[in-house]
Structure 1
Amino acid sequence: MTDRTTGTTGPLTGVERFRALHHGRLPEDPLVLPGPWDAASARVLAEAGFPALATPSAGVAASLGYADGATPADEMFAAVARIARAVDVPVSADVEDGYGLAPKELVERLLETGAVGCNLEDSTGGVLKDPREHAAWLSEVRAAAGDRLFVNARIDTFLRGVGDPEAAVERAALYVAAGADCVYPIGAPVGVLPLLRSGVRGPMNVHALPGEGPSPAELGGLGATRITFGPGLQRRAERALREIAAGLTG
């Protein structure tokens, strides 16, 4: 039997399932991808019924005792592997700026973890990369991965103080042309989401805070194809544990 979304026959692979989740969605029904930081949290989220998960690098870093951005590559890949192994749903991995790895090695290490997708940033050390150079690097990642990985290209302009939405749209166009499956203008103000949506081809990832701000459905109506929470769930769980600990010591 042929799947209408992917054109494939037989059971879908993990990456095919993940890619299909990004297409044919109604505006009020974006794909919600919570972020597990370890195997236990991944199991909880999968058992809650989420069809896929997306690890947050900052949340994983906290679980391993590192500051955001300071996790050694080997430890990040090992953590992603434990998460992917713990659940039956597709897992996408935030691997920051790629840790300086050559595209082929990056792809091989991601596939070894069992991840079906990745989040790749276009800044390093707090500085935006040249968009054309980054697009060329993304093109190499796509060539090495073929159709085996779903690539989410994070756009850091808003994070790095560039508030002009057109700058994000221009980067998005370059990254999509390079083979990115989705773009992620992290930190974009809610008010500019419709403008970004009108200028971005293909799926668009939007960051949300769990339990705060617009709901996923509202963000979907503004243009989000998928919603992620960064380390929001891990930090909320940490706050809850602090409250429990305070009660025990009190």
Structure 2
Amino acid sequence: MAGSTVMAGGPGTRFRDLHEGAGPFILANAWSVGSAMRLEAMGFAAIGTSSAALAAEYGLPDNQAGRDRVLSHAAALAAATSLPVSADLEDGFGPGPEDCAETIRMAISAGLAGGSIEDFTGDEMRPIHDFDLAGARVAAAAAAAKASGTGFVLTARAENHAWGREDLADTIARLRAFEAVGADVLFAPNLPSMDAVRAVCAAVKRPVNVLMGPTSPDWTLEELRAAGVRRVSLGHAVAKVAEETWTAAAAGVLRNGRFRYRSAVVERLGR
């Protein structure tokens, strides 16, 4: 990564190297130890966590699982696979820069290769942190990552478009500010168009992650590659498909008094 120091031997080194490839690699978001192991066996190169998928496993709203549970879950995935694991660290689990720094230190202690900090406030009425505070939070997280000497890959997220703030200029300004204070990867969920993706990729020098979640446009990997994207994350998309599939199978038992699980799934998926 341009402008980054690669720390040899740390758990983030392999993850960092993946971002140097010619085209985007897929960060496969797992929701359990078993799913992480299966995704590794399928040939994915790295595992991510998903705040939405984890919260759903506990019957909670997104962003309500709490730092200890999030880090314990991520550490379990890291212990179960040989792949680098990057955690969705939500808003850093606190409003201040030191909250974000402490979360990064805890993630590193848990054996993670990377993690993301977003500028979401946790308050849906005022969802985005002020510009200067958002930058200070990322700066503190980046300093903690660098001080560890592990090569931990910090992803900084600008959440405008995830919360109905369709201000691409502000999103790009935030990503540039995050880049300037040391973020390794830049991420703006829910960009509205391929033109917006191209604009983001052209505006920064660090690798850009694009989310291909359950409601994302039908962009192909080749289109994302051509736009300059270096990493594609799946969010809770695969976990959502898994949940809908087992729910359809179980509902078929209640509805029909039969145990034809496969036919229930086929009916649910319209195949």
Shift of 1:108: 2.3
Q: Which amino acid aligns with 2:71?
A: F
Query: Superposition pairs for residues 213-232 of structure 1, below 5 Å?
Result: 213-232=218-237
Shift of 1:58: 0.7
**Cα distance between partner residues in 2 of 1:96 and 1:138:** 12
Distance change (3 Å), C-alpha of 1:76 and 1:7: closer
* Mapping 1:93-108, distance limit 5 Å: 93-100=87-94, 102-108=99-105
- What is the 5 A alignment of 1:1-250? 12-25=9-22, 29-100=23-94, 102-124=99-121, 125-126=123-124, 127-146=127-146, 147-148=149-150, 149-191=152-194, 192-209=196-213, 213-249=218-254, 250=256
Runs of 4+ in 1 over 2 A off after TM superposition: 5-9, 101-105, 209-212, 246-250
Instruction: Mark the runs of 5 or more structure 1 residues left unpaired by the alignment.
Output: none
SS at match of 1:134: helix
Question: 1:5-28 CA deviation, whole Å, 9 max, x = no partner?
Answer: 98777xx43301101100132xxx
Q: Which amino acid in structure 2 is aligned with residue 156 of structure 1?
A: E
Cα deviation digits, residues 112-144 of structure 1 (max 9, x gap)? 221110111111123111122111121111112
Output one character per residue of 1:79-114: Cα deviation in whole Å (capped at 9) or x when no partner: 111111110000000010011162442122101221
- Contact 2:212–2:234 (CA<8 Å) still a contact in 1? yes
> Which deviates further from its counterpart, 77-86 or 209-218?
209-218
Structure 2 CA distance for aligned equivalents of residues 199 and 7 of structure 1: 23
- Cα offset, 1:65, TM superposition: 2.4
Point out where structure 2 has 5 or more consecutive residues left out of the alignment: 257-271
Q: TM-score normalised to the size of structure 2? A: 0.83
Report which of the two structures shows the higher radius of gyration computed on alpha carbons. Answer: 2
Distance 1:117 1:69 in 2: 18
Letter in 1 for 2:185: C
Taking only aligned residues, the RMSD between alpha carbons, in angstroms, comes to: 2.1
Q: TM-score, normalised by structure 1?
A: 0.89
Cα 1:177/1:162, change in 2 over 3 Å: same
Pick closer, same or farther for the CA change 1:8–1:65 going to 2, 3 Å.
closer
Distance 1:61 1:103 in 2: 20
Q: How many residues align?
A: 241
1:188-216 deviations in whole A, cap 9, x for unaligned?
Answer: 01332112221122100101136971122
Cα distance in 2 for partners of 1:94, 1:103 equals 12
For 1:160, give the aligned amino acid. W
**What secondary structure does 1:93 align onto?**
strand
